[in-house]
Structure formats: C-alpha cells, structure tokens
Homo-oligomer: A and B are copies of this chain.
C-alpha cells in the first residue's frame, strides 16, 4: 500500500527531551499509517507508526506555536511544535482517530504489504504447531494425553484447541475442573521436563470461602501422579496472599491444602496488571523529569517499583524452575492465568531448557505460553480502543526478565538484545497479524493466517540480525537467575533507547559478529589459496621433471603414461602438463599467447580462462571499517538499531535490504553461499555469462 499523504505541515519544530535548546525544523507529514518528520538539511527522517503511538497531548501554546507531545509504545517521546494552532488541532484530531482504531479490522496488518518478493503471505504461519512442540517433549506418552474436548473451544474458549492432560483424567474431571476454574481455564500441561516433573497452568479455583470440587481435586492428584518420583507437588499462586484472599469474597480464591491431597501451596507475590501499568508509568515519568537530581531519579526509580516487580517475576520463575529441576511438578495460576502465569511459566521454561533460549525456541515459547494459552495481546497492548484499565506491560516485563537473564548469562542465549526490541515493537505495531486478538479463537475467527503476514515469516528473513556472537549452544542445561538486587538492572536499551546521547554505545556484539565473519571468509580463502599453491607445487615439480626429460630426450616424452597422473590433482594441471609434454606443435596450449590462466581449469571446464584473478578478487581481504559508515549505498541512514552487513566479495557495507543475495565465491574453498551486495551479484552473473 502506498503511503497516502493526508497532511503536510511546514516549519514544524521537533524537540526531544535532551535537545530542547536546538530543535530541528522540518516538515511533518501525516500519512495513513505513519507520522513522518523530514529534516530537509540533514536528510534525516523520523517515522512514527500510528500503531506505536501510546498517547497524544496538546500542550499549552508557546511563542513558536502549538506543541503536540507524542508518547510511543516504543518509548520514544517527542514534541512537535506546529506554527498554526489550527493545523496542530487538525493533526491532533486526525491522529486521535488513527492511532487506536475502533475496529480490529482497521489494524495495520490488514493493509500492510511487505516490499515486493520479501516473503510470501503464508510464510511463518505454519512455523509452530502445538503438537510438534509437545512432541518435542515426548508428549503424548504413557502419562499425558491429547484431550480432544476443546476442539471447538467448548471447555475453554481462551485455551488452544489441543490441550494435554493426564491420561488418568476422566471426562468428568476435565469438565468439572474447567467449570470450577475462572474462565474455564482448567489445569493443562505446558511443559514436561526430562525428569517427568511438569509445569501445568490454570486459573484460580472458584473456591470462595468454602466451595470445593472433588473432580478438580482429583484432577490435580492425577497431575501429581504423572510424576512418580515425588509424592507431592507444588501449587504456585503467583499472587500476593492478600489479593488471593480478597478474591474469595468474589467466589474465587485458591486451593485449600486441606482438600487437595499431596500439594504444597505457595503464594509468591507478583502484583496485578494495574500495579504493573502504574509502575511502568512511574518509570517513564522518572525518565521524563525536567532536570532531575541523582537522588530524584534514583528515588523515582525505586518508588516506581519496576525493578522490584521484575525481580519478583524472576524470583517466582526461579522457584518453579528449581522445583522442576529437582523433580517436583508444579501447577501454576494467578487469577485468570493469562498474565502472571504466562510470565512465570515461560520464564521457568527459559531457565530449564536450552531449546527455549534459541531464536526458534523462544518464538515457540511465545506461541505456546502466550499466544496459544490466551494472553490478551490486543487488550494488554491497547491495539484498539478499549478499556484503558486492560492495558498493561505484561509481555514487556517478560522481555525485560529475559534481558536480565541474558545480561547474566550471555553465552546461553542464541539471540541478542535487538531480537527482544524487535519483538517488543512488533507486538505493538500490528504490522503482522501474529499478536492481534486475545486468544487462538480470536485469531482463527479473524482469519489472520490468510489475511495478514506473520512476524515469524518476517523474522526468518532477518535472522542474521538477531545472532548473539557469544552464544555457546548447550553450554548449560539449565540456568539460574542471580536475584541479588545489584544484578537487577534498569533496561536502558529498552526504556531509554531513544534518548539521544544516552546510547553512543557501540553494538559491540554486532562488531564481534562481523569480525568473526570476516575471519571465516579469510580462513576459507586461505584454504583455497593453500590448495592452489599445493597444486602449483605439484605441477612445477612435475613440470621441471618433464622439462628435464624434454631437454635431455625429446623423443621419449610422448611415451609417458599421461592418464596415471590425471587423478592425483584436483585441478588437473597434470593433464595439461601431459598434453603439453605430448609435444604436439598444433596443440592449442602451445600457442605463444598461452597464459597461466588457461592452465587453471581442466579441459572439461573450459568456460573460465580468467579463473585465478577472479578467485583472488572474489574475496574481500580488507573489510571497510563499520563504525564510520552512516548511510548505506541505497542512502538509507544507519541508526543505532539498523544492522550493517559487509559484502563478502567487495568488503563494502550495506543495509539488510541491499544484501539479500547469498552466493558461493570462487575464492572460497568451502563453496558455502555467503552474503554479497547486489552490485557484486550482478558482476558475478555477468562473468558467468561471458566466458
């Protein structure tokens, strides 16, 4: 879809928090999908996706015009000062309509078209199948079975169609337990460890002050029995005790240890979505203070409670992971079991299983514990106009906790910080259908797989941007979080990433990855050159021998057994040699313009007389230093978030868009396809066509 220009306002001043003194003047464009600010002098463009806008505020008129403060879900915060108040009002009201549509069908994903040939619409939608993920854990097995009762979402409409339950669980138990649980979210398997300990998730029981449900009790006992190694299991209520108590008045509550056999019940004290929303709000306010003192900032950070909440989520996740690691099964719930439960179940799995610390595994984890088990993305992210009290940064916290683990155990994660940022931003962008809707049923009803592109398909095309160069696969089976307060850090890379001057931080990981690739290329080239030299050595020694024979006795030469020599050399110089030594004056190689190049391939590969120079020139030895480059040759400016990639053939630097070809270079021994720029690709094609 082309960007339709809805409005264009000249002489707009853009002010960011740390650059209040020197606002940049430019033109503001309001398109159907983006707000775009163009600075004519610096050729710099700031694009703000409407879907990323969190709030718009019209500030009091100033001497230079009407300021419009825009806060984004990406934590960009920017003020545009528009000369005429009427124009400002127009932009303001247009944005209000655009940034949060009333109907889910107006979301960006239903219009979004990737650049031509980028990837097909169906790519990614079939990457993760729940059955495959459970098969990965060897489920179904003798203890666990696939329950078909939710095929049409009859048991629970916010659960996936496939749910895995103990083999022992009867239909009655499943139905009764579902009825006895908030929103019908009965206990279902989400993770089975290799020691038979499992993580099951559900919502709170409707126990009130005294209600009980025998079948629900039997259900939990059935779960416990799937793990023959211990005679008890944990039931983790992630909520603070007082919240759970309060729920009893509403007929909900928690498991009574007196009724449930063999369970050890724990409250773990993670606050609810409202507390988390307010907390993030306070963090952002702390960052937005005009001229804060150190104490004011530290106090604001402390009193926001954000790091406390992050630590609390990690703490609960660690509790679950440790229990499972020691062989004890855990049933987890909070209130409805789709926020805190999603956080701690997925984080516990991240700690327990190295698979989930790969790019693919992490996506699978999100598919399973967030998408399939019904985390309400559209409500929590405020995709459409909805109750503001439903919005909460639950998924952001999950990414934050993942980042904390990553900072502590960098070698255990296949992905980097950019991967988390891209995930975060696309969960909110609605550019892809992946995170639209509140549960699996919603997404099926919306036919998203047919109507929209998948984020997983997009990401599969950009994997090399997400690689952590420090990753060592399987270095740890399970990892533990260090929960000392000194180890829980404020994630500047997420919440302060747009604050200019704050992040001159070099993407050290990117530089390392690039340097390693350069090494790989050179190693490969050295292998090739060394083999070449070995061939020459072979050729020359034989040649000298032949020459000796030739000069001493020219007549003998034609009797040499040429065929015996053909196979001991990859490049078959010896064949040439034997042909040469056949001393036929009409032989083409005897012509006076005979050059080495014509020797470099055997007779069968007659196409490339210039092979050797091509081989040598096909591998860039020097790579252009990365950090001085500010724009790609396609004139895309590089910012701190874009990945720069070297062309392995010319050594120049390009943006991801301009490096989309992978071919084998003649100068590499391995024949591995490597990234080349479009120019080099064309040249190589031409060389192939014109022998």
A interface residue numbers (CB < 8 A to B): 18, 287, 292-299, 301-302, 305, 307-308, 311, 407-411, 469-470, 472, 482, 484-488, 490, 492, 496, 499, 501-502, 504-506, 508-509, 511-512, 515-516, 518-519, 522-523, 525-527, 529-530, 532-533, 536-541, 543-548, 550-552, 554, 557, 580-581, 583, 585, 589-590, 592, 594-597, 599, 612, 616, 619, 621-623, 627-628
Selected contact of A501 from candidates B482, B509, B543, B550, CB within 8 Å = B482
* Alpha-carbon distance between A515 and B511 when the two chains are bound, in angstroms: 10
* Alpha-carbon distance between A299 and B527 when the two chains are bound, in angstroms: 59
B residues in contact with A538, CB < 8 Å: 596
Q: Are A287 and B486 in contact (CB under 8 A)?
A: yes
Q: Are B592 and A552 in contact (CB under 8 A)?
A: no
* Alpha-carbon distance between A311 and B590 when the two chains are bound, in angstroms: 80
Q: Are A486 and B511 in contact (CB under 8 A)?
A: no
Selected contact of A622 from candidates B482, B518, B523, CB within 8 Å = B523
Selected contact of A308 from candidates B295, B530, B544, CB within 8 Å = B295
Selected contact of A526 from candidates B472, B525, B595, B599, CB within 8 Å = B525
Q: Are A485 and B292 in contact (CB under 8 A)?
A: yes
| CB of A454, distance to nearest CB on chain B (Å) | 33
Q: Are B409 and A504 in contact (CB under 8 A)?
A: yes
B residues in contact with A541, CB < 8 Å: 594-596
| CB of A7, distance to nearest CB on chain B (Å) | 33
* Alpha-carbon distance between A484 and B293 when the two chains are bound, in angstroms: 8
Given the contacts A302-B299, A484-B18, A583-B551, A533 and B544 also touching, CB distance less than 8 Å? no
Q: Are B539 and A540 in contact (CB under 8 A)?
A: yes
Q: Are A526 and B522 in contact (CB under 8 A)?
A: yes
Q: Which residue of B lies closest to A292 (CB)?
A: B485
| CB of A675, distance to nearest CB on chain B (Å) | 17
Selected contact of A551 from candidates B298, B537, B550, CB within 8 Å = B550
Q: Are B533 and A410 in contact (CB under 8 A)?
A: no
Q: Are B287 and A308 in contact (CB under 8 A)?
A: no
B residues in contact with A621, CB < 8 Å: 523, 526-527
Q: Are B508 and A519 in contact (CB under 8 A)?
A: no
B residues in contact with A536, CB < 8 Å: 533, 536, 540, 596
Q: Are A488 and B294 in contact (CB under 8 A)?
A: yes
B residues in contact with A302, CB < 8 Å: 294-295, 298-299, 302
Q: Are A486 and B492 in contact (CB under 8 A)?
A: yes
| CB of A132, distance to nearest CB on chain B (Å) | 32
B residues in contact with A557, CB < 8 Å: 551
Q: Are B526 and A470 in contact (CB under 8 A)?
A: no
* Alpha-carbon distance between A548 and B591 when the two chains are bound, in angstroms: 9
Selected contact of A612 from candidates B299, B486, B537, B547, CB within 8 Å = B537
B residues in contact with A533, CB < 8 Å: 529, 532-533, 536, 612, 616
Q: Are B616 and A540 in contact (CB under 8 A)?
A: no
26 cross-chain CB contacts under 8 A: A18-B482, A294-B302, A294-B308, A295-B305, A297-B486, A409-B504, A410-B504, A410-B505, A472-B627, A482-B501, A482-B502, A487-B501, A512-B515, A522-B522, A523-B622, A526-B621, A527-B621, A529-B533, A533-B533, A536-B536, A537-B597, A543-B543, A546-B547, A548-B592, A551-B583, A552-B585
B residues in contact with A581, CB < 8 Å: 547
* Alpha-carbon distance between A589 and B492 when the two chains are bound, in angstroms: 71
| CB of A289, distance to nearest CB on chain B (Å) | 8
Closest 3 CB pairs of A and B: A297-B485, A522-B522, A298-B302
Selected contact of A596 from candidates B294, B518, B540, B616, CB within 8 Å = B540
Q: Are B530 and A616 in contact (CB under 8 A)?
A: yes
Q: Are A599 and B540 in contact (CB under 8 A)?
A: yes
B residues in contact with A299, CB < 8 Å: 302
* Alpha-carbon distance between A386 and B592 when the two chains are bound, in angstroms: 91
| CB of A364, distance to nearest CB on chain B (Å) | 25
| CB of A653, distance to nearest CB on chain B (Å) | 15
Q: Are B295 and A298 in contact (CB under 8 A)?
A: no
B residues in contact with A595, CB < 8 Å: 541
* Alpha-carbon distance between A407 and B493 when the two chains are bound, in angstroms: 13
* Alpha-carbon distance between A405 and B97 when the two chains are bound, in angstroms: 44
B residues in contact with A554, CB < 8 Å: 551, 554
B residues in contact with A519, CB < 8 Å: 515, 518-519, 522, 623
